[in-house]
Chains A and B, each alone.
Chain A
Amino acid sequence: KAGVTQTPRYLIKTRGQQVTLSCSPISGHRSVSWYQQTPGQGLQFLFEYFSETQRNKGNFPGRFSGRQFSNSRSEMNVSTLELGDSALYLCASGGVDGYTFGSGTRLTVV
């Protein structure tokens, strides 16, 4: 079966801009979670969506938001980008067989 697809793989943005990242989960999976990975803070949970509803949320400012569509695809949006938002953003697709991670989107804020 196809894996978790995250687009784009790499992104460079300027401070103050906003960005949208996309995650297409494994077919049949209804849960999508997002994580931020940085050298300083490690892997941190952002939020989880299930059937278009946010089910859990981590401790991130309101600039970080997300949504899930009826086909389970999810988007994550970061507004007013800061240098500290530079990170690898990982999406995880969840079903009865557990969670599978995508390869991530590497965001660089300059």
Chain B
Amino acid sequence: AQSVTQLGSHVSVSEGALVLLRCNYSSSVPPYLFWYVQYPNQGLQLLLKYTTGATLVKGINGFEAEFKKSETSFHLTKPSAHMSDAAEYFCAVSVTGNQFYFGTGTSLTVIP
């Protein structure tokens, strides 16, 4: 079975500060890992994904995440937060590629 734990349901950062959103996963087989962002009353937008290969994955809007198998983690970072980054972020795991298990989400607030 697969599962995802997102540490911190709410994270606040100052504009220009580092963004770090934590995600740990559980999977009995090598997983695919994803980060999605959701703005109010919208669907999910893919930020980045890890399938195979390079463990440091770069996504859209300056976000990146590193797959660390030994730590079963896939934390999301961005060097400098922007006001437009305020949203809900979801980490997800999949082993089949067509069924996702999502974490409970982290709400990011950016303080001007």
Contact = CB atoms under 8 A, between A and B. Distances in A.
B43 A102 contact: yes
Contact of A103 (B36, B43, B90, B92): B43
Interface residues of A, number: 24
Given A90-B43, A101-B43, A50 B102 contact: no
Contacts, number: 50
B22 to A, nearest CB: 16
Interface string B30-64: 00000010000111111001000000000000000
A98 interface: yes
Q: Is the interface of A mostly helix, strand, loop or mixed?
A: strand
A25 interface: no
Given A56-B96, A56-B98, A104 B43 contact: yes
A100 B101 contact: no
Contact of B102 (A42, A56, A100, A106): A42
Contacts of B44: 90, 92, 101
Interface residues of B, number: 19
Nearest to B44: A101
B44, B96, B105 — most chain A CB neighbours (10 Å): B44
A35 B98 CA distance: 12
B104 interface: yes
A11 interface: no
A94 interface: yes
A12 interface: no
B96 A45 contact: no
Given A42-B104, A43-B90, A98-B49, A33 B43 contact: no
10 contacts: A33-B99, A42-B103, A43-B92, A44-B102, A45-B101, A48-B98, A94-B98, A100-B46, A102-B43, A104-B42
Interface of B: 36, 41-46, 49, 90, 92, 96, 98-105
